[in-house]
Amino acid sequence: MAEKISNVKRMEIPEETIRQNNLEEVATAVSNHKTSILKGIDLLEALNQSEMLDTLTALVKHREAALSNITRELNKSEYAAPVENIVKLVQIAGKMDVDEMQYLADRMNHAVKEAAASETSEKTSYMDLLKALKDPEINRSVTMLLQFLRGMGKA
């Protein structure tokens, strides 16, 4: 029969070899993620210049006390309605068709620029309104406005 193993010698890796392997691993990671690291450095520098880095550091170090203070303040009755409104606004935003809203916002921005560029101070008569409806762009806008009002008024 074989003898019982009573003494096991573990293979010991020298600390210098471990350190060298760690440095190579870090260097490889830095090389692979160079762009992200540079962006992170830029972000940290921007936070430092705006003095927000100190605030964020203190907030993280004292997160329990900060979170306790924030929740205590938000539980006050004067903040109940605004907090509920924020939740409702987020729900409303989730229901909106963003592509349609983007199209409408673009058209409204264009209209505001056109209106700002126009500097007429003359009065518009009923006949001017009727004549303006012959303009395809105005007619299209009035039709869109009427459709909007019709859709808003439907039950």
Domain boundaries, the chain: 19-117
Q: For residue 73, what pLDDT is reported?
A: 87
d(CA 98, CA 91): 13
Tokens representing 20 are 């060298």
Distances (CA, A) of 89 to 82, 93, 94: 10, 6, 9
With beta carbons less than 8 A apart as the criterion, state whether 121 and 115 touch.
no
pTM value?
Answer: 0.40
Amino acid at 124: T
Closest CA relative to residue 43, chosen from 54, 30, 53? 53
10 Å CB burial of residue 53 (0-12, 13-18, 19+) is middle
Q: For residue 1, what pLDDT is reported?
A: 63
List of long-range contacts for 110-117, beta carbons under 8 Å, 24+ apart: 111/141
Q: For residue 124, what pLDDT is reported?
A: 84
Q: Mapping DSSP to helix (H, G, I), strand (E, B) and coil, where does residue 14 land?
A: coil
Q: For residue 114, what pLDDT is reported?
A: 86
pLDDT, averaged per 10 consecutive residues of the chain (155 residues), comes to 76 90 95 95 94 93 93 87 90 88 90 84 86 91 90 85
